Amino acid sequence: MRVASRLMAMLVLLPALAQAGVLDRLVLNKDKQLQMEREAAAARARINAVAWPLLTHPNLLAQCEGGRPAYGFRHRGTEGYELERKQDQDLEAMGWVPRQVLEVYPGSPAEAAGLQVGDVIVGFDGRRIRKNSYKGDNRITELLAEAREEGRAIELEVERSGARQVLRIEPVRVCDFEAILGGTAGIAGAHDLPRKLRARAIMVDIGLYRLVAEDEALLQAVIVHELAHQFLDHYKVRGMAGTAARVTGTAMEYAGMGGTPGLLLKLGTRVAFKAGEEREADLKALELMRSLDLNPEVYVAFVHRLAEARPDLVASGVGAHPVNEERLAALRAGGGQG
């Protein structure tokens, strides 16, 4: 009875909502969300494509214990696309159909084998892949994980323009880091993701991506910067520093000093720690740029671009990527002319 009453109330309200333009705004919001999702997907694909040659570079592999086997593509079920949070109709509105290949990286084994974006995987090592919902996507993910663990070649049967073919893809070694796009518009990268992803994620927020999107060399510098944080284990250190600050702040509150001192201590610890780790990451990034046969001057240009985009960070020295004269001077001393 209660459900029926609610349905009747909704039916009565629909004309009024339509007249007020509420329904139109909901449709527009849905369209805007879809547009943002498409931009994010394109950005994520480009970040991964730019990261691939860096993550397979011999000098970087030497620093990450030889890496792991990889094939150089992503499909609809790859972690990061968060299928469990989306309905099939939402995915297909993006142009993504079940079992579809979404990214193929330049210079990768997948590209060499002839795999193309838009191919639909219908078979994996002779096994049929079911079509319905995202179960087929998840099955591909499981089989890929097994093949990577064994370090062996895979055979994909793909459907393209109504025709099917089997492609054999040999793995190569890649540093076990994955570029992930963040959803915030702020100018930031983030190596401190949820615990299960921290040790292998290079996350670039959409705002930072937009800042460097037109220049591939600057995008490489952003990726190298986040790699530097990973090699320096900053995600672990920050976690410990944050815990210490929270414990000390709580103790101050219990000691009768009120909440404000504890809050200020937490904030001060985080700001100072962030500025320190950024300076360390700069020096490590310059080292990585050279080892990857990249021009370290481009990295300095990236930091200057941050300063130009956010002059308030230069003045305050705080924020997601604090930029100040001390940081710029350290960069110049570290090998860039600035």
- Domain layout of the chain by residue ranges: 213-333
pTM for the model stands at: 0.73
Cα 79 to Cα 187: distance, rounded to the nearest angstrom: 24
Residue 32, pLDDT score: 77
Predicted local confidence at residue 293, as pLDDT: 96
| pLDDT tens profile 230-252 | 888 876 655 555 555 545 555 55
Length of the chain as a residue count: 338
Structure confidence at residue 36 (pLDDT)? 77
pLDDT digits (tens, 9 = 90+) for 41-67: 888 889 889 999 999 999 999 988 888
Beta-bridged to residue 109, according to DSSP, are none
Q: What is the pLDDT of residue 257?
A: 56
- Give the pLDDT confidence score for residue 114 in this predicted structure: 97
Extract the residue ranges of the chain whose pLDDT is less than 50.
17, 19, 22-26, 79-85, 186-187, 190-192, 246, 263-273, 313-320, 338
pLDDT for 84: 44
Amino acid, single-letter form, for residue 249: G
